[in-house]
Amino acid sequence: MKRALGGAVTFLLFFVFSGSVSAAAPRTLRVDYYHTGNSHEQWFSLDRVVLEPLAWPGNLSKTIDESQLGNYLFEVRERASGRLLYSRGFNSVFGEWKTTEEALHSNRTFSESLRFPTPDAPVEVLLKERAESGSHEAWKVVWKTVVDPKDKFVDRSRPPSPGALLELQKMGDPATKVNLLVLGDGYTAGERGKFEKDARRFMDALFSTSPFREHQNDFNVWGLCPAAEESGVSRPSSGIYRRSPVGASYDTFGTERYVLTTENRTLRDVASFAPYEFIEILVNGQTYGGGGIFNQYATVAIDNLWATYVGVHEFGHQFAALADEYYTSDVAYLPAEKETEPWEPNVTALLDPANLKWKDLVAAGTPVPTPWDQEEFDRFERDIQRRRKELRAAGKPEAELDELFRNEREKEDAMLSSQRFAGKVGAFEGANYEAKGYYRPEVDCIMFTRHRTFCAVCRRAIERIIGMYAN
């Protein structure tokens, strides 16, 4: 029924958002707000409402998010009637920070943004958080505000230009494609040529990996590179501090390889010069690192030997809400207080094996849970992590860490490919940062090790998101 009514829905959405039956897309409206709190409490306050410079890039017939992905969900409802006009699920930096030890005894404030097509009349914007009941479909309203697009206090000013917009790959009208912005951070004006080469290198890595390879024609890719005063970004653990244009930094939450930016306000102003829905930030640096937050952005240190793996892995987080399947590396997050079924598509607590969320991909004869030699793998990984910490503590060059990781991948590939159920979908214990109690779909995947491919469950999750944006 929904497919059959597609044309009518498009007609109505064009009318609602632009005020007339026209092919002209409405401008993009953005609500910037502050998210303050700790691990137990949170508060919200409006910062500003911004009319961005460009038209809404997305498909106006695909405005409602039915994926049930994300720790948060925002809805835009017509104030007069309550009718739902737009919705999207997402994660946030605050949402990750509140699971750290620091959040147990401190408050912090983070800037966040909600973007949607400019409505024709006042709307109510509702921010919802996933309920703690364990139900993956239960949401509670944590904040709401009324937005009138005609209000005189809507910021209609144009922010400083970050430089020329690069058309890295245009496959069609933005309204019919996934729109990806590759954004450089830590590049000086003289390194703009390097950024363009780096951006194309990231694209080559992404579109060489299935299922992005098969769907390359569904993507438009744009590039922006605001000029930095100094080359590189901050890495506090090494005594390096930079005021880079979008504020990317290593050592997020005290984890030396975790690269994020908390300068959301600046990031959104810079990105507003591109018709984007997803952002990949290329950090101009060699030290291993990256990060990814669902429906926010992903980062990668582009000059590292492992940038191909890290860039694609982290993009999996931000694009398709894929969870980390590894559990032997150090992370800043505290263990969950109780075991619940994760909402992410590629991990499970297996509370009900008969209703495994990806059971349709499990071949007959594959046991659930699925056996694998976890003890041997864990012994090897513990030794790798010990050696990694020793190299970092001794300040050894990045090349020595690269060699360690190269040996690690060779051993992992040999060990995991020899498992009885290698290449088959099942439920393999060890995922979601936990050795016990959580399970991943296949014995190996780019979300588990520095593997070269996504597993079947992750591929399906990615294709589902592509279908939410592209025709």
Q: Please identify which residue in the block is written with the tokens 């505290």.
A: 334
164: pLDDT strictly greater than 80: yes
CATH topology of domain 166-320: Collagenase (Catalytic Domain) (3.40.390)
- Give 3-state DSSP helix, strand, coil % of the chain, rounded to 5: 30, 25, 45
Distance between CA 264 and CA 33 in Å, rounded? 10
Instruction: Identify which of 148, 151, 153, 161 has the alpha carbon closest to the alpha carbon of residue 119.
Output: 148
Q: Is the pLDDT of residue 141 over 60?
A: yes
Element (H, E) at 409: helix 398-417
118 is written with which tokens?
Answer: 């400019």
Average pLDDT over residues 88-113: 97
Give the tens place of pLDDT for each residue, 438-471.
999 999 999 999 999 999 999 999 999 999 999 8
What average pLDDT does this structure show over 117-135?
88
Same fold? 6-147, 166-320: no
Q: Where exactly are the structural domains of the chain?
A: 6-147, 166-320, 353-468
Dihedrals phi, psi of 257, to nearest 5 degrees:
-95, -5
pLDDT at residue 8, rounded to an integer: 31
Per-residue pLDDT at 15 exceeds 50: no
Q: Give yes or no for a contact between 437 and 325, defined as CB atoms under 8 angstroms apart.
A: no
The per-residue pLDDT for range 337-369, each reduced to its tens digit, is 677 899 999 999 999 999 999 999 999 999 999
Q: Identify the CATH assignment for 6-147 out of 2.60.40.3250, 3.30.70.990, 1.20.58.2240, 3.40.50.300.
A: 2.60.40.3250
Q: How far apart are CA 176 and CA 172, in angstroms?
A: 7
Residue 9 has pLDDT above 60, yes or no: no
- Give the integer Cα–Cα distance in Å for 406 and 413: 11
Q: What is the predicted pLDDT for the residue at 247?
A: 98
Contact of 271 with 226, CB cutoff 8 Å: no
Cα–Cα dist 353/333, whole Å: 27
The rounded distance, in Å, linking the Cα atoms of 194 and 8 is 46
Query: What is the pLDDT, as a whole number, of residue 254?
Result: 94
Average pLDDT, rounded, for the chain: 93
Is pLDDT at 19 greater than 80 in this prediction? no
